[in-house]
Amino acid sequence: MAYFPTGTVTYATLPSPRSVVAGDIYLTIDAGEVWSDGSQWNVIAGTFPVSTFSLLPLIPNLPTGVIASTSDLGLCVFNGASWLAVANTSSVIQVFNVSGIWTKPPGSPKIITSMVIGGGGGGGSGPLIASIGAESGGGGGGGGAYNTQTAPASDYGPTVTVTVGAAGIGGAAVSSNGNGNPGTAGGNSSFGNTKAFGGGGGAAGQSGATNSGGGGGGTFFSAGGNGSGSSAGGAGALGVGGGSGASPANTVVFSAGGGGGGGLNSGAGPMGSVGLLGGPGGGAGGGVSATLAFVGGAGNVNLWSNVAPAAGAINGAGGNGVASNSWAPGTSAGGGGSSITTNGGAGGIGINGSAGGGGGAAVGAFSSGAGGNGGVGLVVVITHY
């Protein structure tokens, strides 16, 4: 299997699927990632299990033939211009928030669609110093990846193991002078052989003139790395890493999670990066300069949810991630603001695979801001009749 990430072809100009190795993946300009099964091209990011027909997305240049599942009209297909309900179909949608066993529904199902989301990384907590000076806030966590597969129901046995990735845990606040605590990585999710890896944890805020690193975003190939000190967490294969004292680049790979913002020494917390269909990266906590406290970094968005949680104000907590529905990756959390007069602001909490925010720095006889937990992963299985 090979991956062709240049993004210079459209869905219509892909080579014949019979001329490439089965399993090869191309990144297209208009349809995102597609893979060859040896006889046809399949749109990796093109299955949209949603609650109602009215919520089906009209992404520009969505290719003809993409499948969607709705609770009110059953199986639907995109005809190149609009969504159409397929006559005489129904669907059973099962959402797994914890690991377990999927049992194939009774009857004669035709198609099984699975959507898998890795856990979001936790944000690092802010540092604490005795008297006002340079500090960086905790790094934001990396977002969990998204993966989907549609296959004939006959490909599956009566049961399939479901693994739901755990949320990355935010770093605990500190009340003695020194660096903060790092966040932990989100867990990996899977439905059989369909996998989505978790995002990395954000680095601890640094009690000196040093930036902190954000967690790397997960992909369906590998997990995002943890931030450590001023070093940003590396990306999962073909994804994006975290920032170091800055916002990371936005991913161009539809399924990848976003990287976490890296805490900026003596400055406001940078925001994490966008996740297209995966979980976005969390915002970093605010740092402290020789004279000032700063706000945290805002959360970020994806194609499922487009309202970013607010950054933590000075002395304030970052906003929590928001999900547009129960089955899709949410927006990432904002970083907490720093303080020179009270406790640092806590990082916000991610949801459905999005990342937690970093905690804000603090000074004197107070506590730093805790890092926010990432969002638990998710597995959705849709059985079409």
**90, 117, 136 - which closes a domain:** 90
Residues 175 and 190 grouped into a single domain: yes
Q: Which pLDDT belongs to residue 1?
A: 44
Is residue 243 within 8 A of residue 282, CB to CB? The reply is no
Name the one residue in this structure whose structure tokens are 């299955």: 47
**90, 107, 128 - which closes a domain:** 90
Q: Which pLDDT belongs to residue 45?
A: 47
**72, 90, 108 - which closes a domain:** 90
The tens-digit pLDDT sequence of the chain (385 residues) is 455 655 567 777 888 877 777 666 676 765 666 667 677 776 654 555 555 777 676 655 565 666 666 767 776 777 767 777 766 566 788 899 999 999 999 888 888 888 899 999 999 999 999 988 899 999 999 999 998 887 888 889 999 999 999 999 999 999 999 999 999 999 999 999 899 999 999 999 999 889 999 999 998 888 999 999 888 777 766 667 788 878 888 776 777 888 999 999 999 999 999 887 899 999 999 999 988 999 999 999 888 877 888 899 999 999 999 987 777 889 999 999 999 999 999 999 999 999 999 999 999 999 999 999 999 999 999 888 7
Containing structural domain, residue 32: 3-90
Q: Which pLDDT belongs to residue 267?
A: 93
Residues 99 and 7 grouped into a single domain: no
Is residue 296 within 8 A of residue 284, CB to CB? The reply is yes
Q: Which pLDDT belongs to residue 92?
A: 83
Residues 42 and 174 grouped into a single domain: no
pLDDT tens per residue across span 83-141: 777 665 667 888 999 999 999 998 888 888 888 999 999 999 999 999 888 999 999 99
Residues 62 and 47 grouped into a single domain: yes
pLDDT tens per residue across span 328-360: 889 999 999 999 999 999 999 999 999 999 999
What is the chain's alpha carbon radius of gyration, rounded to the nearest angstrom?
21
Query: How many structural domains are present in the chain?
Result: 2
Alpha carbons within 13 angstroms on the beta-carbon side of residue 133 total: 13
Residues 100 and 137 grouped into a single domain: yes
Residues 86 and 123 grouped into a single domain: no
CB atoms within 10 A of CB 195: 21
Residues 10 and 111 grouped into a single domain: no
CA distance 49 to 55: 10
Residues 14 and 121 grouped into a single domain: no
Residues 141 and 289 grouped into a single domain: yes
Q: Which pLDDT belongs to residue 63?
A: 58
Residues 49 and 101 grouped into a single domain: no
Residues 131 and 271 grouped into a single domain: yes
Residues 203 and 56 grouped into a single domain: no
